C-alpha cells in the first residue's frame, strides 16, 4: 500500500497524504502528467477515470470523468496554478459538468503535489486545502479519503508498466467516448522542437506526409487565433490530391493548440482537434484528442489507417529532430 501517512489539520484546514513508491522520481512525475497513465489510477477501481484534457503546465486545465458501476458518470476539472517539473505542481480541483465547466454549487479544493527522491525510490506528498471545516467534512463524508487510498493503491502497477509508455512505442489511438479518440505518441525531441515542427511550414513539408510517395505542395499555417490554415498533399507523379482546412481556435505555445479540421471538397462534418505537448522521460508526449460528429464518422476515419499514417509521419519527424539534439 503506497500511502504511508494521512494527517488532518483542523487549524490549517488541510489534509496531507504521504505515499512512497519503489520507482524513480521522474517515473512517478510522468505517471501524473501523462493522461494515459493518470487515468489508470486517479479514480478508485469502481470509478475508473478518463482524461479528455490534461495540461501539465501553469495556466493549463484538465477535464476528466469517473464512471461508476451502475454507469453513472461524474466529471471533474483541474485548473493548474503552478508546475515545476519534476518537483511539484498545484491545481484547483472542482466538480464539473461534461463540458468541463465547474460546478460552483459543490466545494473546490486546492491541491499541492510535491515529489521528492528517497533512498527507496520516490515520495509524493499531497496537501489539500479547504475553505472551512464544513467543506472539509462534506468532502470526507463523500468518501474523499477512502477513494484516494483506493486510487493510490493502483499506482504501483502503472509505474511497473514501462513498456506501454516507452519512447519507442508507436502512435496509438484510444477511443474515449462515442465521439472522441485520443492519439498519443512520445516523440524524441523537446517540447519547443515539436511545437516548432507543427508551426513551421518548411519543416511540416518535410515530415507531415504520411506514407511514402506523397508531397505537401500547400502548407499555409494559422499563426494567430481566428486564422485559417490549409494543407494539401499530392501523390508523386500523379494527379491524386487531397487536403484539409480549418481554424485555429486556441493557442498556448508551446503546450496546446486547438483547431477545427474539415476535408477540402467533402461534406463530412469538421472535427475538433486538441493537441497537447507534455515533457516526459525520453522526449515529448504528443496527445491529440479528436472529437467527431458521431460514432459513425469516428469509426470510418479510424478504418482508413489514420494512425499508421500518423506514425509514419512521426518517425520522419524524429529523424529530423535527432540531429538537432545530438
For the four alpha carbons of 253, 256, 259 and 263, in that order, the dihedral sign comes to: positive
Domain end (from 126, 142, 161): 161
> Which domain-ending residue is among 128, 161, 194?
161
325: confidence class by pLDDT, cuts 50, 70, 90: low
Note the pLDDT tens digit of each residue in 53-73. Answer: 999 999 999 999 999 999 999
- Give the tens place of pLDDT for each residue, 114-147: 999 999 999 999 999 999 998 888 888 888 888 8
Domain total in the chain: 2
Whether 37 is covered by a domain: the verdict is: yes
- The predicted structure's pLDDT at residue 13: 92
Query: Cα dist. 238→123, 205, 213 in Å?
Result: 58, 18, 10
Say yes or no: 136 and 203 in one domain: no
Q: What is the pLDDT of residues 21-43, one digit of tens each?
A: 999 999 999 999 999 999 999 98
DSSP line for 48-110: -EEEEEE--STT-EEEEEEE-TTS-EEEEEEEEEEEETTTEEEEEEEEE-TTS-B-TTS--EE
Q: Do 157 and 183 belong to one domain?
A: no
Domain assignment present for residue 166? The answer is no
Do 210 and 274 belong together in one domain? yes
> Other C-beta atoms within 10 Å of 267: how many?
6
Q: Are residues 116 and 263 in the same domain?
A: no
Secondary structure of residue 165 in the 3-state scheme: helix
Percent of the chain with pLDDT over 90: 81
Q: Is residue 167 part of a domain?
A: no
pLDDT in tens, 83-98: 999 999 999 999 999 9
Looking at the structure, do residues 26 and 75 belong to the same domain, yes or no?
yes
Does 59 share its domain with 29?
yes
Q: Among the listed ranges 131-145, 186-200, 291-305, which one has the minimum average pLDDT value?
A: 131-145
This model's pTM is above 0.75: yes
Same domain, 320 and 188: yes
Instruction: Indicate if 80 and 205 belong to the same structural domain.
Output: no
CATH number for 254: 3.30.530.20
Residue 189 lies in domain: 172-325
Answer yes or no: do 141 and 189 share one domain: no
Residues 149 and 198 in one domain: no
pLDDT at 286 over 70: yes
Residue 45 domain flag: yes
Same domain, 15 and 144: yes
266 burial via Cβ count (<10 Å: 0-12, 13-18, 19+): exposed
Last residue of a domain, one of 125, 142, 161: 161
Regarding whether 132 and 213 lie in a shared domain, the answer is no
Helix then strand then coil, % of the chain, to nearest 5: 25, 40, 35
Please give the span between the terminal C-alpha atoms of the chain, in angstroms, as a whole number. 41
Amino acid at each position: 500500500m503506497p500511502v504511508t501517512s494521512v494527517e488532518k489539520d483542523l487549524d490549517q484546514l488541510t489534509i496531507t497524504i504521504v505515499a512512497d513508491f519503489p520507482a524513480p522520481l521522474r517515473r512517478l512525475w510522468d505517471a501524473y502528467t501523462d493522461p494515459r497513465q493518470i487515468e489508470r489510477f486517479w479514480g478508485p477501481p469502481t470509478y475508473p477515470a478518463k482524461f479528455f484534457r490534461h495540461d501539465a503546465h501553469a495556466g493549463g486545465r484538465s477535464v476528466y470523468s469517473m464512471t461508476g458501476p451502475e454507469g453513472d458518470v461524474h466529471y471533474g476539472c483541474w485548473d493548474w496554478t503552478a508546475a515545476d517539473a519534476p518537483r511539484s505542481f498545484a491545481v484547483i480541483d472542482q466538480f464539473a459538468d461534461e463540458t468541463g465547466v465547474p460546478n460552483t454549487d459543490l466545494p473546490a479544493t486546492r491541491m499541492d503535489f510535491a515529489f521528492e527522491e528517497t533512498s527507496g525510490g520516490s515520495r509524493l506528498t499531497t496537501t489539500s486545502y479547504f475553505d472551512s471545516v464544513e467543506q472539509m467534512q462534506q468532502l470526507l463524508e463523500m468518501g474523499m479519503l477512502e477513494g484516494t487510498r483506493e486510487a493510490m493503491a493502483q499506482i504501483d502497477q502503472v509505474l511497473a508498466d514501462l513498456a506501454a509508455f516507452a519512447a519507442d512505442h508507436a502512435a496509438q489511438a484510444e477511443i474515449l467516448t462515442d465521439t472522441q479518440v485520443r492519439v498519443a505518441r512520445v516523440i524524441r525531441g523537446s517540447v519547443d522542437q515539436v511545437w516548432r515542427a507543427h508551426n513551421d511550414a518548411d519543416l511540416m513539408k518535410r515530415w507531415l506526409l504520411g506514407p511514402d510517395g506523397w508531397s505537401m505542395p500547400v502548407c499555409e499555417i494559422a499563426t494567430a487565433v481566428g486564422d485559417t490554415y490549409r494543407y494539401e498533399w499530392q501523390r508523386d507523379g500523379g494527379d491524386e490530391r487531397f487536403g484539409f482546412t480549418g481554424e485555429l481556435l486556441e493557442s498556448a505555445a508551446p503546450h496546446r493548440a486547438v483547431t477545427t479540421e474539415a476535408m477540402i471538397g467533402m461534406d463530412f462534418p469538421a472535427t475538433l482537434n486538441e493537441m497537447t505537448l507534455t515533457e516526459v522521460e525520453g522526449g515529448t508526449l504528443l496527445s491529440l484528442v479528436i472529437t467527431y460528429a458521431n460514432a459513425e464518422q469516428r469509426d470510418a476515419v479510424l478504418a482508413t489507417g489514420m494512425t499508421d499514417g500518423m506514425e509514419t509521419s512521426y518517425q520522419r519527424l524524429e529523424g529530423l529532430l535527432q540531429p538537432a539534439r545530438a
